[in-house]
Amino acid sequence: MAVQIPDDSVFSSFKDQCLSPDGWISRYSKGGVTVWCQAEESRNVQKLKMRIVCKDVAAETLYDVLHDTSYRRKWDTNMIETYDIGRLTANADVGYYSWKCPSPLKNRDFVTMRSWLPLGNDYLIINYSVKHPQHPPKKDYVRAVSLLTGYLIQSNGAGCSTLYYLTQMDPRGSLPKWVVNRVSQFVAPKAMRKIYKASLKYPDWKRKHSPALKPWMFPEQNSLPSISVGELTLQRGDSLENIDESGAAEEKTHHSEDEET
């Protein structure tokens, strides 16, 4: 299937999904973080939405943190590896991301087309999975599929903001129920708090690390090789390995207060 770079209507639809309560069930609400889930027609597709209110963090700072790959390595402890593959337009690129799954599950990775748009007081970043001929699935990972994943950042004025994260993902495997529960109760809230804490520290870090370099804001700074959208095809799960991990037993781990509050 052909790949299309998102237009304004796609961003508008994504924003509506983030803000609409319709069809969402609250799974967690504590300490300024809310997590919702939504039942999908396919039991293998997981759809989650999260929100955190970020006091003392400007919307622009959150936007920079979510774009800055160099800084991500400082705070994203679930990440194994990430790198940019190429540039499509001034506000769209293709990249690779791999992340650690709860033991004993296999780790997952993605190749996604990412696009971003500042819109008034809002900032949006969305991605979905694509195939790139030079980046096929790797043998040590399960290639998962992002059907639609992204962030909505809204300015609350006076240096405060609200961050929404929405993901509709096919992990390519039948996951045990404990994994879904752990993601909504521990992994997701902890990830949102990590972004918040990282954003509080980012201005100081950025002042010491190429403070003027922001290719997501200034396309002329982008040194990635240019690639054509014609090189990509839409990635859907039916062309990938599907593994059954539904019988995987949960390994007991200690959940810190930081995860639960």
The predicted structure's pLDDT at residue 185: 81
User: What whole-number percentage of the chain has pLDDT above 90?
Assistant: 70
The predicted structure's pLDDT at residue 251: 59
Global pTM exceeds 0.75: yes
Query: Which ranges of the chain have pLDDT less than 70?
Result: 40-43, 174, 176, 180, 239-261
The predicted structure's pLDDT at residue 260: 38
| Helix (H) or strand (E) run with residue 65 in it | helix 59-67
The predicted structure's pLDDT at residue 254: 45
The predicted structure's pLDDT at residue 102: 78
Domain boundaries, the chain: 8-19+26-210
CA 148 to chain centre: 9
Choose the CATH number for 8-19+26-210 among 1.10.3720.10, 3.30.530.20, 3.30.70.3450, 3.30.413.10: 3.30.530.20
The predicted structure's pLDDT at residue 255: 47
Distance CA 163, CA 152 (A): 6
From 59, 44, 29, select the one nearest 188 (Cα to Cα).
Answer: 29
The predicted structure's pLDDT at residue 171: 83
The predicted structure's pLDDT at residue 177: 72
